[in-house]
Chains A and B, each alone.
Chain A
């Protein structure tokens, strides 16, 4: 069964550093998403991406975040100048136009 792959599974970074979280969506999917889950809280939508541009973003997705689909397979989330409160699980998802398929997540720890 096709799956969404995320790397790395766990990343530790110093406060103020830039991080890039990587995702390989399912190959024939058209919509791509990033979600965030702070420990002990619910999963929150960050951003959706379609046709090589952001189609929707939440209030959380401020100027320190950016997304990119640099080639035909990868989808990345960049966090510039990380803060302690960016520590969370980040989930990538993709869909053909409906059901989201989620990756297993990247746990980001900012120290």
Chain B
């Protein structure tokens, strides 16, 4: 599999439920970011977690990072219909020397009202 695989690929939940998305990566990282993208639109930065951090919160978002397992999860609590979007993780590639980002395949979240 490639750097930045996410699961599930698609997730459908009822409004008010929690949504959990996972991201796995292969190489060492300095930081990992989560982005949201509404269909056909730009990337909205949600949260950044650095390699020396294990958990971060921002409003209804909670991100965890397990560098030993090379994985991260994004939890959206009390979901709303407006949370319907695709969610991507992106990792930097410190060994490349260029600070490029490698994106995951994304999870398409649908929140039903």
Count of residues in B whose CB is under 8 Å from the partner chain: 24
Kindly list chain B residues whose C-beta atoms are within 8 Å of the C-beta of A42.
4, 88, 103-106
State A95–B102 Cα separation when bound (angstroms).
15
Kindly provide the distance from the CB of B84 to the nearest chain A CB, expressed in whole angstroms.
15
Task: For the complex formed, measure the closest distance between the CB of A11 and the CB atoms of chain B, giving whole angstroms.
Answer: 14
Task: Select one of A33, A89, A104, A107 contacting B100, CB under 8 A.
Answer: A33
Check B103 against A43 for contact (C-beta < 8 Å).
Answer: yes
A97-B100 Cα distance, complex, nearest whole Å: 10
| Stretch from A13-21, A44-52, A73-81 that touches the partner | A44-52
Given A43-B90, A99-B48, A56–B100 Cβ distance below 8 Å?
A: yes
Closest CB-CB distance, B5 to chain A, in whole Å? Answer: 10
Q: Is the CB of A95 within 8 A of B99?
A: yes
Interfacial residues, chain B to chain A (CB-CB below 8 A): 4, 30-31, 33, 40-43, 45, 48, 88, 90, 92, 96-106
